[in-house]
Structure 1
Amino acid sequence: MNQNQHIETIVCKQSDKEKGKYKMRLNTSIEVARYLSTHGLAFRGHDESESSANPGNFIALVKTFGRINSDIEAITLKNAPLNHKMICSDIQKEIVNAFAMEVLRAIISDIGDSTFCLMVDEARDISMKEQMALVVRYVDKSGSVIERFLGVEHVTDTSALTLKSTIDDFFSRYGLSVSKLRGQGYAGASNMKALVAVARKHGHISSLFDFTTRVLNVVGSSCKRRDLLREKQSEKIIEALDMGDISSGRGLNQETNLKRAGDTRWSSHYNTLLSLINMFDAVIDVLEIIGRDASSTSHRTEAQDIVDRLLSFDFIMSLFLMKNILASQMSYLKYFKGKIKIL
Structure 2
Amino acid sequence: MHQPGHIDKAMKKQKTSDEVKRNITRVKTSIDAVRYLALQGVAFRGRDEIVDSKNPGNFIQLLKYTRFYNEEVDSVVLENAPKNAKYTSHEVQKQILHVLAKKIRKQIFDDIGDSKFSIIVDEASDEGRHEQMAIVLRFVDIEGFIQEGFLNLVHVKDTTSKTLHSAICSTLTSHKFSLQNLRGQGYDGASNMRGEWKGLHALFLKDFPHAYYVHCMAHRLQLSLVAASREVDRVNEFFTKLPKIVTAITGSTKRLDELEEFQEDF
- Please confirm whether the aligned pair reaches a TM-score higher than 0.5, indicating the same fold: yes
What SS does the corresponding residue of 1:157 show, helix, strand or coil? Answer: coil
CA 1:160/1:246 → structure 2, altered by over 3 Å: closer, same or farther?
closer
Q: Which residue in 1 is equivalent to 2:158?
A: 157
What SS does the corresponding residue of 1:258 show, helix, strand or coil? Answer: helix
Matches of residues 67-146 of structure 1 in structure 2 within 5 Å? 67-146=68-147
Spell out, residue by residue over 1:27-56, the C-alpha distance to the aligned partner (whole angstroms, 9 max, x if none).
001111111111112211112223223322
Q: Which residue in 1 is equivalent to 2:181?
A: 180
Q: Which residue in 2 is equivalent to 1:295?
A: none
CA contact (8 A) 2:159 2:192 kept: no
The Cα shift of 1:247 comes to: 6.5
CA contact (8 A) 1:158 1:190 kept: no
CA 1:113/1:13 → structure 2, altered by over 3 Å: closer, same or farther?
same
Number of paired residues? Answer: 207
Spell out, residue by residue over 1:256-306, the C-alpha distance to the aligned partner (whole angstroms, 9 max, x if none).
5228xxxxxxxxxxxxxxxxxxx9xxx9xx9xxxxxxxxxxxxxxxxxxxx
Distance 1:97 1:59 in 2: 19
2:143 partner letter: S
Distance 2:111 2:25 in 1: 32
Q: Which residue in 2 is equivalent to 1:257?
A: 242
- Find the structure with the greater CA-based Rg: 1
Q: Which residue in 1 is equivalent to 2:7?
A: 5
CA contact (8 A) 1:29 1:87 kept: yes
The Cα shift of 1:164 comes to: 2.2
2:32 partner letter: E
1:43 partner letter: F
Q: Which residue in 2 is equivalent to 1:148?
A: 149
Distance 2:142 2:73 in 1: 42
1:134 partner letter: I
What SS does the corresponding residue of 2:243 show, helix, strand or coil? Answer: coil
Q: Which residue in 2 is equivalent to 1:299?
A: none
Uncovered stretches (5+) of structure 2, i.e. residues with no partner: 194-231, 249-266
CA 1:247/1:189 → structure 2, altered by over 3 Å: closer, same or farther?
closer
Spell out, residue by residue over 1:5-44, the C-alpha distance to the aligned partner (whole angstroms, 9 max, x if none).
33x4433322222111110000001111111111112211
Spell out, residue by residue over 1:134-163, the C-alpha distance to the aligned partner (whole angstroms, 9 max, x if none).
111112222222222211112222222222
Distance 2:25 2:122 in 1: 41
Q: Which residue in 1 is equivalent to 2:201?
A: none
Q: Which residue in 2 is equivalent to 1:43?
A: 44
Distance 2:76 2:85 in 1: 10
Distance 1:164 1:61 in 2: 41
TM-score for the superposition, normalised by structure 2 = 0.69
The Cα shift of 1:246 comes to: 6.4
The alignment-based identity, stated in percent, is: 39
Distance 2:84 2:190 in 1: 45
Matches of residues 281-296 of structure 1 in structure 2 within 5 Å? none
CA 1:188/1:159 → structure 2, altered by over 3 Å: closer, same or farther?
farther
2:15 partner letter: Q
CA contact (8 A) 1:134 1:149 kept: yes
The Cα shift of 1:90 comes to: 0.9
Distance 2:160 2:243 in 1: 32
2:242 partner letter: N
What SS does the corresponding residue of 2:153 show, helix, strand or coil? Answer: strand
Question: Higher helix fraction: Structure 1 or Structure 2?
Answer: 1
1:144 partner letter: F
What SS does the corresponding residue of 2:26 show, helix, strand or coil? Answer: helix
2:158 partner letter: D
What SS does the corresponding residue of 2:242 show, helix, strand or coil? Answer: coil
CA RMSD of aligned residues (A): 2.9
CA 1:83/1:188 → structure 2, altered by over 3 Å: closer, same or farther?
farther
2:48 partner letter: D
2:66 partner letter: F
Distance 1:44 1:29 in 2: 14
CA 1:145/1:55 → structure 2, altered by over 3 Å: closer, same or farther?
same
CA contact (8 A) 1:45 1:56 kept: yes
Distance 2:241 2:191 in 1: 29
Q: Which residue in 1 is equivalent to 2:32?
A: 31
Distance 2:28 2:164 in 1: 38
2:129 partner letter: M
